Amino acid sequence: MISYYDELNEEERLQVTEIIQTLYNQTYVLDRKYDKKTERYVMNRDYRLCERHMEFLQEYFKIAGVELRENRQFGIFYLQGMEVIGEKIGRIATLYVLVLKMLYDEKVNLASTAMQVYTTIGEIHDKITLFHLWDRNNPRYLTQMRDAIRLLKRYQIIDTFDNGQDLEGDSKVVIYPTIHLLLRGESVREILEKFSEEGKEETNG
């Protein structure tokens, strides 16, 4: 493994270091990402680097007890063996993931490809209201929502068409297929209904 790294030139070594840091920081690397400037999906350089150095990277992460895997169906490299999306996420971000998964499943069959699934802040609000997930009149609601968006953008679960600060109803959100890797085989509706009942009990209590 070390001999492979030693044989790389200086630029390639720097690229390998960067991709290792990227994987540790965000867990997932997507084949294509939405580019706000061109308003289209573009090839992701980091994904190409994972492909080029895959054997070395797998051996590197193996030492730390982490597995680097590739999901070719959705075009994702990801680390397995760490906590979900790299850190324990809070209740609000967890609810957000569940809502996004439900929206993704509803829309994916209507999308031109599985990569191109969009929703809006308004649709997310509607699901939150439908399942009574958290009190939108809470003064911390907008702050909590911004924090959730920031966290999920970091881990390549979503992206926004703006800077993520605009929480108006028609603001668009891209949902990436990494959502599948967070919630494999789960009954999202059942989980949401459980959270909904807990929220009602807290309100009534």
Q: What percent of the chain has pLDDT over 70?
A: 80
136-150: pLDDT as tens digits: 778 887 888 888 888
Beta strands (DSSP E) in 4-97 are 28-30, 32-35, 40-43, 67-71, 76-80
User: Hey, what CATH class is 91-204 in?
Assistant: mainly alpha
| Pick from 147, 91, 149, 140: nearest CA to 120 | 149
113-141: pLDDT as tens digits: 667 789 998 898 888 888 877 777 788 87
Higher pLDDT, 201 or 106: 106
CA triple 139-127-40, angle to 5 deg? 100
CB-CB contact of 77 with 29 (8 Å): yes
* Mean pLDDT along residues 150-177: 82
| Alpha carbon 166 to chain centroid, angstroms | 19
Which pLDDT does position 98 carry in this prediction?
A: 87
Confidence grade of residue 176 (pLDDT, cut at 50, 70, 90):
very high
Which pLDDT does position 203 carry in this prediction?
A: 47
* Average pLDDT score, the chain: 83
pLDDT for residue 36 is more than 50: yes
Q: Where in the chain is the domain with CATH 1.10.10?
A: 91-204
Q: What percent of the chain has pLDDT over 90?
A: 37
Higher pLDDT, 187 or 16: 16
